[in-house]
């Protein structure tokens, strides 16, 4: 009883009140300092928070014994233990000049690039293995196109598809609630493809739409991501991949779905090789345009024999990831997939690229160029690349870029 009385007397004492007052003032001052720091330099504050979130969570010095099923890169068993509870995320990421540099692309396993509209390219980035060891913020999230959805559908049963709207015919002020064909050609209507694939939105499906059925903590608008000058509203949506995977788990879309079906069912795994650098590359400087009147989207890949990879340049500038100390983007394999181009199809200038079927391809790896073909028989099939003898081409372990280029365009190397 005496001890309790002393305890109560201490909390009523002048000493305790003084200590508590100083502690309160300290916490208030810290909070005000952080607020002032953000108001003065929102970019610096955002970068500070980003750096805190990017700390490696795992011991990456352990042996790399686990093969990523997406691109063959080798990882620690601890990383594999995490990705084996999830399914891939395929995210639409913008590439307009005002949106660069993008965030998170260096952590993608495979990246697809194609024109979205007006010669401006966009990315569909596949995140699974490379985004495990660190918390990854990606940006900017943008809208989907039919051909990107067709590529995403090849990543097993119901991959998580992240986008900010899509090409569609919804119109609240139009007769019947639908836009006329002249405004959006039916071939470009993504909603029709979602229906065919059974990709449901709402609060239960794998169709994650930042403008419709997901928000904080998965997506947020950060107009100060790149600068203390705010960006345009449409360039500002960030994605927290861990939050997206957490939401997928709540929806019963982990490694297996609620019926016990693993996402890998129906997934085509490519053949992989370890790769071998060469000091006498035959394909050391790859250059091409998507559209001749849009030089800001011209692409160049330069071979780096020191790590047997290709460094990416976009619009004549090194293409970097805004996160993770701003590394220049690179790839172990650069695949040029020639596709028939149609469009602009309508008044909204939608494009269409035929990525179902077959076509010509060039695969750049190990400093060499392999001419061949690609084949993708349906949206649910993953594309496969073959040499001129009809043998499947093995991919060098590591990040893979697939450049969907209009058929007939010239590739210089």
Query: Nearest CA to 228 among 42, 39, 46?
Result: 42
Alpha helices in 14-145 (DSSP H): 14-40, 42-53, 77-83
pLDDT of 395 higher than 50: yes
- The reply to whether domains 62-250 and 272-406 share a CATH topology is yes
Q: How far apart are CA 69 and CA 130, in angstroms?
A: 11
pLDDT of 36 higher than 70: no
> What pLDDT digit, counting tens, does each position of 363-373 carry?
999 999 999 99
Q: How far apart are CA 142 and CA 162, in angstroms?
A: 9
Confidence label for 213 from pLDDT (cuts 50, 70 and 90): very high
pLDDT of 345 higher than 80: yes
Q: Residue 57: its pLDDT value, please?
A: 76
- The residues, any chain, with a CB within 8 Å of residue 319's CB and separated by 6 or more, are 100, 101, 312, 313, 328, 329
> What pLDDT digit, counting tens, does each position of 43-84 carry?
444 444 444 445 677 999 999 999 999 999 999 999 999 999
Q: Report how far Cα 278 is from the mean position of its chain's Cα atoms.
A: 30
- The residues, any chain, with a CB within 8 Å of residue 70's CB and separated by 6 or more, are 88, 109, 110, 126, 128, 129, 155
Q: 149: number of CA atoms within 13 Å, CB side?
A: 27
Q: Which two tokens stand for residue 132?
A: 């495990």
Query: DSSP for 183-220?
Result: TS-GGG-HHHHHHHHT---TTTSSEEETTTT--TTTEE
Q: 176: number of CA atoms within 13 Å, CB side?
A: 5
Q: 225: number of CA atoms within 13 Å, CB side?
A: 28
Q: Contact, 167 vs 143, CB < 8 A?
A: yes
For 62-250, CATH gives: 3.50.90.10
Work out the average pLDDT over 398-411: 98
Work out the average pLDDT over 149-172: 97
Q: How far apart are CA 326 and CA 102, in angstroms?
A: 10
Q: Are strands 110-117 and 400-406 parallel, antiparallel or unpaired?
A: parallel
- Predicted TM-score of the model (pTM): 0.87
> What pLDDT digit, counting tens, does each position of 261-275 carry?
999 999 999 999 999
Q: Residue 38: its pLDDT value, please?
A: 40
Share of the chain above pLDDT 90, in %: 85
Q: Contact, 228 vs 42, CB < 8 A?
A: yes
Work out the average pLDDT over 194-223: 96
Q: Residue 3: its pLDDT value, please?
A: 42
Q: Residue 55: its pLDDT value, please?
A: 61
For 109, phi then psi, to 5°, come to -85, -40
How distant, in Å, are the alpha carbons of 50, 153, 198, 315, 402 from that of 355? 36, 12, 20, 25, 12
Confidence label for 31 from pLDDT (cuts 50, 70 and 90): very low
pLDDT of 12 higher than 70: no
| Domains of the chain by residue range | 2-40, 62-250, 272-406
Q: Which two tokens stand for residue 214?
A: 């997901």
Hunting for tokens 């985004």 — which residue is that? 131
Q: How far apart are CA 358 and CA 339, in angstroms?
A: 9
Q: Contact, 163 vs 141, CB < 8 A?
A: yes
pLDDT of 104 higher than 80: yes
For 272-406, CATH gives: 3.50.90.10
- Output Rg (C-alpha) for the chain, integer angstroms: 24
Q: Residue 294: its pLDDT value, please?
A: 97
Work out the average pLDDT over 125-129: 99
- The most distant pair of C-alpha atoms in the chain lies apart, rounded to whole Å, by 92
pLDDT of 209 higher than 50: yes
Q: How far apart are CA 71 and CA 381, in angstroms?
A: 16
pLDDT of 254 higher than 70: yes
35 versus 313: which is more confidently predicted? Answer: 313
Query: Nearest CA to 57 among 137, 130, 135?
Result: 135
Instruction: Choose the most confident range, by mean pLDDT, from 9-13, 201-205, 395-399.
Output: 395-399
> What pLDDT digit, counting tens, does each position of 292-308 carry?
999 999 999 999 999 99
Q: Residue 6: its pLDDT value, please?
A: 42
pLDDT averaged over every residue in the chain: 90
pLDDT of 124 higher than 50: yes
Cβ-count burial 367-383 (b if 16+ within 10 Å, e if not): bebbebbbebeebbbbb
């Amino acid at each position: 009883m005496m001890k309790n009385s002393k305890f109560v007397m201490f909390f009523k004492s002048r000493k305790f009140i003084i200590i508590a007052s100083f502690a309160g003032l300290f916490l208030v001052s810290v909070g005000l300092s952080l607020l002032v720091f953000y108001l003065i330099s929102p970019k610096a504050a955002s970068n500070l928070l980003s750096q805190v979130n990017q700390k490696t969570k795992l011991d990456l010095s352990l042996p790399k014994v686990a093969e990523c099923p997406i691109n063959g890169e080798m990882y620690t068993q601890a990383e594999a233990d995490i990705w084996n509870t999830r399914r891939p995320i395929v995210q639409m990421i913008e590439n307009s000049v005002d949106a660069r540099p993008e965030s998170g692309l260096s952590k993608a396993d495979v990246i697809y690039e194609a024109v979205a509209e007006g010669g401006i390219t966009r990315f569909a980035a596949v995140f699974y293995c490379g985004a495990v060891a660190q918390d990854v913020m990606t940006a900017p999230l943008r809208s989907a196109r039919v051909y990107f959805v067709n590529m995403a559908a090849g990543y097993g049963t119901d991959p998580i598809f992240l986008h900010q709207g899509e090409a569609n015919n919804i119109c609240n002020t139009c007769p019947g609630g639908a836009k006329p064909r002249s405004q959006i050609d039916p071939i470009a209507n993504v909603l029709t493809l979602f229906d065919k694939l059974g990709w449901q939105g709402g609060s239960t499906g794998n169709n994650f739409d930042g403008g419709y059925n997901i928000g904080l903590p998965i997506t947020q608008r950060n107009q100060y991501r790149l600068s203390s000058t705010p960006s345009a509203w449409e360039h500002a949506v960030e994605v927290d991949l861990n939050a997206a995977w957490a939401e997928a788990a709540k929806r019963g879309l982990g490694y297996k779905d609620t019926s016990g079906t693993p996402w890998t069912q129906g997934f085509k795994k490519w053949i992989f090789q370890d790769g071998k650098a060469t000091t006498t590359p035959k394909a050391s400087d790859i250059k091409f345009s998507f559209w001749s009147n849009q030089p800001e989207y011209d692409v160049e890949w330069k071979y780096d024999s020191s790590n047997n990879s290709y460094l990416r340049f976009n619009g004549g500038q090194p293409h970097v990831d805004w996160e993770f100390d701003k590394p220049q983007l690179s790839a172990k394999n650069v695949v040029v997939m020639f596709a028939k181009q149609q469009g602009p199809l309508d008044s909204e200038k939608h494009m269409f690229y035929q990525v179902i079927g077959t076509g010509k391809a060039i695969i750049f790896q190990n400093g060499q160029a392999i001419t061949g073909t690609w084949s993708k028989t349906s949206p649910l099939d993953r594309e496969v690349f073959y040499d001129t003898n009809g043998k499947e081409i093995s991919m060098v372990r590591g990040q893979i870029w697939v450049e969907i280029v209009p058929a007939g365009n010239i590739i210089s190397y």
